[in-house]
């Protein structure tokens, strides 16, 4: 799945928001407080709400251009990237890409069905996140 969203915020601001989210998630999962410079190639065991586990690894982290990770579970390998493309001094495009490789044909079929059914929800959440970040940025400018 690929999705492009335009933000009316500078690229460094959006990248900082992404980084803060990453650091928060890592602290919640591991109890470790990291600094952004420690993120490249960082990996840890991630636990999900249903008590499933996965190996999370940051595969690319370049300020303020790209954040990418890989998450391996017993059933799938997810690859996700957030790439920022500056449109102007005050605008940036976020290119979100997600791929999923399944360990079996049955799981792959289930993944395709799940993406078809719930893909619109993910897009809706991403647009909502964009609106919140832009609103938050506008409030900091006042």
Question: In this predicted model, what pLDDT tens digit does every residue of 55-108 receive, in sequence order?
Answer: 999 999 999 999 999 999 999 999 999 999 999 888 999 999 999 998 888 988
Note the pTM of the prediction, 2 decimals. Answer: 0.89
Least trusted range by pLDDT, from 3-12, 24-33, 99-108, 111-120: 111-120
Average pLDDT over the chain reads 93
Say if CB 32 and CB 42 are below 8 A apart. Answer: no
Q: What is the DSSP string of 72-122?
A: E-SSEEEEEEEEEEEEETTEEEEEEEEEEEESSHHHHHHHHHHHHHHHHHH
CA dist., res. 120 & res. 128, Å (int): 12
Q: What is the structure's pLDDT at 55?
A: 97
CATH 3.40.50.410, domain 2-141, yes or no: no
Residue 71: C-alpha distances to residues 94, 97, 117 (Å): 21, 14, 22
């Amino acid at each position: 799945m690929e999705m492009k969203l335009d933000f009316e915020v500078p690229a460094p601001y959006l990248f900082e928001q992404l980084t803060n989210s990453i650091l928060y998630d890592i602290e919640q999962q591991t109890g470790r407080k990291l600094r952004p410079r420690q993120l490249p190639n960082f990996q840890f065991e991630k636990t999900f709400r249903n008590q499933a586990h996965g190996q999370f690894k940051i595969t690319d982290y370049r300020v303020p251009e790209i954040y990418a990770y890989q998450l391996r579970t017993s059933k799938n390998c997810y690859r996700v990237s957030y790439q920022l493309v500056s449109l102007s001094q005050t605008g940036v495009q976020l290119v979100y890409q997600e791929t999923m490789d399944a360990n079996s044909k049955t799981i792959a079929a289930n993944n395709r069905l799940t993406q078809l059914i719930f893909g619109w929800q993910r897009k809706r959440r991403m647009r909502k996140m964009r609106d919140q970040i832009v609103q938050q940025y506008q409030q900091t400018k006042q």
